[in-house]
A and B are shown apart, each in its own frame.
Chain A
Amino acid sequence: MRKLAWAALLLVVVGALVIGVTDRDQASDADRAHRLGETIMCPACSGESVTNSQAPVAKAIRQRIDALIDEGKSDQEIRDTLVDSFGERIVLNPPREGLAGLVWVLPVAALVVAVAGLVVVFRRWRVAPSTEVSDADVDAAARARQAEGR
C-alpha cells in the first residue's frame, strides 16, 4: 500500500516537473534584454545591474542592448561589445577562463574534497572497531587473573 503511495507520488512529481519545465513561453526580445541587462553592471553604481539602476549610463547601456538585439546580435556578442568599451568589470559574472576561472572552479573543487573527506571519514569509522575483543586478549586477561592469584 505504501509502495503504491510512493509510486503515485513519483508519477505526480515527474508529471508536474515535465509540465513545468517544458511549458514555457518563448522569451520575447524585451525579456531577453531584461535578463541580459541583469548580467551587466551599471558602471556608475555600486554593483547594481543596468536593469535595476536609474543612472543615466545604465539607461544608455539598456538602449544600446536593445539596439544590438534588434541587429540580431547574440548575448555573447552583446557582452563582448560592452566589454570592449568598459572593460571586463562591466559583466557581473567573472570570466570563465584564466585566473578568474578559479572563482568558478574552487567551490566545486571544495565540494568534491568535502564529499571525499566525508566518505573517507565514514569508512574509517566503520573499519576501525573500537571494542572488538580478540582471542589473544581473552588469553592475556585470563593469564593476568591467574598471576594475581584469583
Chain B
Amino acid sequence: MNWTASLGTLAVALGFAASLIGVLSLAMGIRSRQERILKSGRVYAVLALGSAAVAFLAMERALLAHDFSLKFVAENGSRATPVLYTFASLWGALEGSILLWSLVLTGYTVAVCWRFRDRVTDPLVAWATLAMLVVCAFFFALMLGPANPFRVLSGVIPADGRGPNPLLQDHPLMAIHPPFLYLGYVGFTVPFAFCVAALVTGRVGEGWLAVTRRWTLLAWGFLTVGIVLGAWWSYEVLGWGGFWAWDPVENASFLPWLTGTAFIHSVMVQERRGMLRVWNLSLLLATFSLTILGTFLTRSGVLDSVHSFTESSIGVWLLTFFGCVVAVSLGLIAWRGDRLRSPGRIDSPLSREGAFLANNVLFAGFAFVVLLGTVFPLVYEALKDEQITVGRPYFDRMTAPIALALLFFMAIAPVLPWRKASTELLRHRLLWPAWGGGAALVVSVLVGARGLGQLLAFFLAGFAAGSAVRQLVLAARAARRNGTSVFGAVVGRTNGGMVVHLGVIVVAVAFVAASSFSQSNEFRLDEGQSAHLAGRTITYLGNERTRSARAMTVTARVRVDGGQVFTPSLNQYISTGSTIGTPSVDWGLRRDVYLTLVEAPKAAGDSAVIGVVVEPLVSWLWAGGLLMAIGTLLALVPGRRRNPIIPVSA
C-alpha cells in the first residue's frame, strides 16, 4: 500500500469533488440568490486549494525521498540528481506540470474569493467564481484521468530512477521559469472568468473592468517575466547562442502575451471613452483560449519542439476543453455582444484612442501571424498529406514590419492627447524624441550596424525611448511643482507603463542586435593555441575529465581576451547515454562571448573543437525584461487621481 500515492490520489479526488460541488452550489446560490449558499463557494475554493497543496507536497516528498514505486518519480527522479533539480523535476514532466497548474489555479481562485469577500452576493462575483471552479474541476479531472501523477509502478521497483531530461538539470533557471510562466498563464483565468460573468449578467460596463484590469496586468507581468526567463534559459542551455527560435512552445507562450498586451492598451480607451467593450471582452476570452490552445500544442506532441513534453492522450482532453472554452466564449459574444456594444465613437484617428486602435490591430495581426505559422504545417499536412516547415525565417520576416510599426506607435502614442490632436502639436512634442531616434541611429551606424531593417529599428527604438523619457520627465516636473516626491512621478499606470515601454525598447534593440550582428565559428585548437573572432581572442588551455554520480564530464578551459577562464563542457549522462553540452558564457555589457565544447579531445593532449559565438547586447535582453517587470510593479501601484469606479456607462 503506497501511502504517498493514496494520499495524493485522494487529494486530487477531493479537489475535483470540491470544485464540482462548488460549481453546483454556486449555481444554486445564483439562482436562489441566497447569501448563505453563495458564501459556501468560498469554502469549496479553499478546499480545492488545500487538496492541490497536499497533492503537491505529497509529490515533492516522493521525489525528494526517491520513492521509485511511483511511476512519475521513477521516470523523473534519480538519486544522482541534485536537490534543486529534483524539486524542480515536479514541473519538468507532464503530470507534475498539471499538478503545478492546479496549485496555481486554486490559489488564484481563493485569492479572488478573498479579494471579493465583501461582494459575495454580487452575481458578477458569483459567476466569476463559478467559472474559475469549472476550470479547476477540469484540471483536477485531468489528474484523475490521463495525467495521473500518482500512478504506481506494477512489478519491480527500480533501485534508481531515470532522472530528468539532461537539458532540464543543466541550469538553475529550470527552477524559476515554469513557476513564473504558470503564474502568468494561469493568472489569465481570472479575467476570463470575469468576462464570462460580465456577459452572462449583462453587466459589461466599467464595473467589471475596474475589477479585472489589475489582475490582468499582474498575470501579464508574470507571463512577461516567464517568457524572458525562458529565453534566458534557452540561451544558457541549448548551445547555439540563440534565445528565440519561434519554436511552437515559445509561440504558445507568446500568443496570450500578445493579446494580453493589446488588452492592456485598449482597456484605457474603454475607461476614458466607454468604447470597445465587446472588443475588450473578446480579447480576454481569446487570451485565455490561447493559453489552453498553447497547453494543447505543448503537451499533445502534434508539433515537434525542443521544448516538448512527452505526448499522451491528454491531447484529446485539452483539445476538447479548448473547444468548449471557445464555444462558450463565442456563444456568449454572439448572444450578448451586439446588445452590449457601446455607442461611442472615436473623433479623430490622430488621437490617443486612434493610436491604441492601431496598436490593437497590430497586435491582433501579430498574434494572427504567429498562430498561422505555428499551425499551418498541420493544416497543410491534413489537406495534402505532405510535410512542409514554417520556421524561424518566416516568422522573422513576417513579424519584423509589425514590430517596427509597433515601435513607431510606441513613439507617438504617449504624446498624443485624447480625442484629437493637430499635426502642429505633434511636431512640437515629438521633436526631442525624434532627435533621440536620430541620435540612436547615428550611434548605431558609427558602431558598425548595417542594414535597412536593423537601422530603422534602432531609429524607432530611440524615438520611442525619447517619447517615454519625455513623459517621465514631465511627470517628474509636475510632481516637483506639486510638492510630491519625484518617486511618485514614476508610480501609477501611465508612468509605470512608460518604464515598461523602455523595457520593451531595450529588449527590441537587443533582439535586433543579437540576431543580426552575431558572429560564430568553430575552431580546432591544440592546447595553448588561440583563435580570433570579432575582435575577441580565445585561448584553449586544456581539459579535464571528471565523473559524478550522474554524468561523465569533459570540461575545456578557455581563456577569453587574456582574462577570465571559462569552462564549456560536454556531459555524457550515465542513465540515458546521451551527451549534452553545457555552454559557458562570458557576458558583458556590450557583447557576450558564448563558448561551447563541440568536440572533446579524444586523448589527453589532443586538440579540441571550441565553438565561439560573439553576440552583441545579449545581456540587454535580460536587463530589459527586468525593466519591464519593474514597470509592471510600478503600474500596479494605485494611482491617486481618478477614481476608477466612476462609471462612464452602466
Contacts and interface: CB of A to CB of B under 8 A. Distances in A.
A binds B: yes
Interface of A: 2, 5-6, 9, 12-13, 16-17, 19-21, 23-24, 34, 38-39, 41, 45-49, 51-54, 87-95, 99-100, 102-103, 106-107, 110-111, 114-115, 118, 122, 125, 128, 130
Contacts, number: 148
Contact of B394 (A45, A88, A93): A93
B459 A23 contact: no
Contacts of A21: 450-452, 455
B585 to A, nearest CB: 16
Interface string B560-571: 000000000000
A12 to B, nearest CB: 5
B188 to A, nearest CB: 24
Given A24-B450, A106-B372, A100 B349 contact: no
B473 interface: no
Given A17-B452, A21-B452, A99-B384, A107 B390 contact: no
Question: Which 6 A-B pairs give the minimum distances between C-beta atoms?
Answer: A92-B391, A52-B240, A125-B345, A89-B387, A20-B455, A46-B304
Given A13-B438, A19-B445, A114-B364, 19 more contacts: A16-B455, A17-B455, A20-B441, A21-B451, A24-B451, A39-B393, A41-B389, A47-B389, A48-B245, A51-B240, A54-B598, A90-B389, A93-B390, A94-B377, A94-B394, A103-B376, A111-B365, A125-B345, A130-B343
A114 B361 contact: yes
Nearest to B399: A107
A118 B354 CA distance: 10
Contacts of A24: 450-451
Nearest to B521: A30
B366 to A, nearest CB: 10
B383 interface: yes
Contact of B386 (A2, A88, A90): A88
B335 interface: no
Contact of B306 (A9, A47, A89, A118): A47
B239 interface: yes
8 contacts: A12-B442, A16-B445, A21-B451, A48-B306, A89-B388, A99-B384, A114-B365, A122-B349
Contacts of B431: 2, 5-6, 9
A95 B380 CA distance: 12
A39 to B, nearest CB: 5
A91 B373 contact: no
A110 B444 CA distance: 33
A95 B393 contact: no
A116 B449 CA distance: 36
B392 interface: yes
B151 to A, nearest CB: 27
A111 B365 CA distance: 7
A59 B445 CA distance: 35
B361 A118 contact: yes
B434 interface: yes
Most chain A CB atoms below 10 A, which of B361, B372, B392, B437: B392
Contacts of B452: 17, 20-21
B428 A2 contact: yes
B393 to A, nearest CB: 5
B368 interface: yes
Contacts of B384: 99
B306 A46 contact: yes
Contacts of B398: 107
Contact of A20 (B364, B392, B444, B581): B444
A51 B521 CA distance: 10
B326 interface: no
B308 A46 contact: yes
A49 B246 CA distance: 12
B427 interface: yes
A49 B389 CA distance: 11
A94 B376 contact: yes
A90 to B, nearest CB: 7
A47 B247 contact: yes
Given A20-B452, A47-B247, A103-B372, A93 B442 contact: no
B346 A20 contact: no
Contacts of A122: 346, 349
Interface in B369-410: 369, 372-373, 376-377, 380, 383-384, 386-394, 398
B389 A91 contact: yes
Nearest to B306: A46
Interface string B229-263: 00000000001101001011000000000000000
B372 A107 contact: yes
A124 to B, nearest CB: 8
Contact of B438 (A12, A51, A91): A12
B305 interface: yes
B387 A47 contact: no
B435 interface: yes
Contacts of B451: 20-21, 24
B357 interface: yes
A16 B383 contact: no
A47 B304 contact: yes
A41 B377 CA distance: 14
Most chain A CB atoms below 10 A, which of B389, B393, B438, B454: B389
B388 A95 contact: yes
B35 interface: no
A122 B452 CA distance: 33
A118 B389 contact: no
B347 interface: yes
